[in-house]
A = this chain, B = another copy of it.
Amino acid sequence: MSQDKTIHDFAACPAPAQHSDPELDRLVQEIIGRIADKWTMLALDVLAEQGRMRFTTLGKHIEGISQKMLTKTLRQMEADGLVVRTVFPVVPPRVEYELTPIGQSLGAAFCGVWLWAEQHREAILASRAAFAQRAPET
């Protein structure tokens, strides 16, 4: 692995000063609450790597997702402008999904969190084990 460099190479957030508008805060949190969804991130990941893909194929690439959740997730992503939905008016319906530029930029932004999870997974597991050791008393 050639990722010795940490992920906070880019200093940009250390400016929490302008947190003056509570309503804007709520909006940002609402947005994050939506995109931070399990299925949304997996769909984002698959589409970012595989590119345009049709409904069923996409579902096969997301382990464990139900048809209902796939539909719901894609609808939400489409509404938020993360993906574009293309319907081909052919006999057996053919619908393809593809990331928009905004969707791609989100994938890039989430990259930092993804790397963080990979880099600290061992520490997290160790922490959980240690925590379970000194808390198992009921």
Residue ranges of A at the interface with B (Cβ–Cβ < 8 Å)? 3, 6-10, 12-13, 16, 19, 22, 24, 27-29, 31-33, 35-38, 41-42, 45, 48-49, 63, 78-81, 102, 105-118, 120-121, 123-128, 131-132, 135
Contact A116 B124 (CB under 8 A): no
Shortest beta-carbon distance from A125 to chain B in Å? 8
Instruction: State the copy count for this chain.
Output: 2
Across the interface, do B124 and A80 meet the contact criterion of CB distance under 8 Å? yes
Q: Would you call the interface of chain A mostly helix, strand, loop, or mixed?
A: helix
Q: Judging by beta carbons under 8 Å apart, are A124 and B81 in contact?
A: yes
Decide: A127 and B28 in contact? CB cutoff 8 A.
no
A109 to B110, CA, bound (A): 8
The listed residue (B29, B36, B49, B102) touching A36 by CB distance below 8 A is B36
Chain B residues lying within 8 Å of A27, measured Cβ to Cβ, are 121, 125
By a CB distance below 8 angstroms, the chain B residues around A107 are: 13
Partner of A80, one of B3, B12, B33, B128: B128
A8, closest chain B residue (CB) = B108
Q: How far, in whole Å, are A22 and B62 apart by their CA atoms in the complex?
A: 12
With contacts A13-B108, A80-B124 taken as known, whether A38 is within 8 angstroms of B28 at the C-beta atoms is no
User: A109–B79 contact, CB under 8 A?
Assistant: no
